Amino acid sequence: MEIIIGKTAGFCFGVKNAVNKTYEQLENNTQNLYCLGELVHNEKIVENLLKKGVKTLDNINEIPNDSNVIIRAHGVEPDTYHRAKEKNISVIDLTCPKVTKIHELAENFAKNNYYIMLIAEKKHPETIGTKGFCGKNSSIIENIEDVEIAIQCFKESKLSNIAIIAQTTFSVEKFNTIVENIKEKVDCNIEIKNTICNATAVRQQETEELSKKVELMIVIGGKNSANTKRLYDICCKNCKNSILIQNKNDDDLINAIKNKYETIGIMAGASTPEESINEVIEYIKNIGG
């Protein structure tokens, strides 16, 4: 049995930075520390932080006045910073620098009277944050079906230019398809900024290649993690035996390993720690003999 582990599997730069800095804060004994949303989509890490006193809450309004709040790598909308200031909450801003760049880009486009089309998943926290920097003259396009409405809103805005930006973890393939569709349907100046993070693009590419050459493809990551789900979707297109698991105790892994596969590929989402990847590899090796 051969196990091939993706070189890009696991924490990306932005997540690693957020996790390391959060643990540094804990060493500094910061009191009343909260995290706005899960720091990473990983149960173990969230549980461990809770044990150390870091509570996860989803809304700035729920966080007590005069406390400390961590902004995770996804970033937040401008209103959250304003609200934190009003409540005298100290912000430990761990927004990934690549996301901050998109916020700056969006603000600049808005200032220069561009209508912004944000190609992104509507409910993703990063999208909600970025949308806040785009201002009112903007639309979120998640699927090709949303293009028509976005163009209608652009026409109603009476602006002359369009700027296109993307969620950092969006599918490269889907982004290109949507951009082509916008270009076909509207005749004006369009500034296209492919802001998909390189770490995401490289990981998706490697997943594509790996899933084509193995009999079983295992994706490790949170089932509520967008970038992990995307990796799983890529695998399903190329390998009929693809599974998405959270950890080594997942039933899907236990069942899949009962079949004696010759080649197994392993990939992990951006919020999966190395420890979880190693546990899965150990488990497979022990069962596989």
Residues with a known catalytic role: 126
CA distance 7 to 221: 15
100 forms beta bridges with none
Residue nearest to ligand SF4 (CB): 14
Tell me the closest approach of the beta carbon of residue 96 to ligand SF4, in angstroms: 3
Of 132 and 253, which has the nearer Cβ to ligand SF4? 132
CA distance 120 to 97: 18
Of 71 and 99, which has the nearer Cβ to ligand SF4? 99
Tell me the closest approach of the beta carbon of residue 13 to ligand SF4, in angstroms: 4
112 close to 134: Cβ distance less than 8 angstroms? no
CA distance 81 to 71: 10
234 close to 200: Cβ distance less than 8 angstroms? no
What the block records as the tokens of 40 is: 């990473």
268 close to 220: Cβ distance less than 8 angstroms? yes
Tell me the closest approach of the beta carbon of residue 195 to ligand SF4, in angstroms: 9
- Phi first, then psi, for residue 75 (nearest 5°) are 80, 170
Of 15 and 76, which has the nearer Cβ to ligand SF4? 15
What residue ranges bind ligand SF4 (CB under 6 A)?
Answer: 12-15, 73, 96, 98-99, 168-169, 197, 199-200, 270
Of 12 and 116, which has the nearer Cβ to ligand SF4? 12
Tell me the closest approach of the beta carbon of residue 84 to ligand SF4, in angstroms: 21
Of 170 and 261, which has the nearer Cβ to ligand SF4? 170
Of 98 and 248, which has the nearer Cβ to ligand SF4? 98
Helices 97-111, 13-27: axis angle to 10 degrees equals 110
Structure-token match 């698991």, residue found: 245
Tell me the closest approach of the beta carbon of residue 247 to ligand SF4, in angstroms: 21
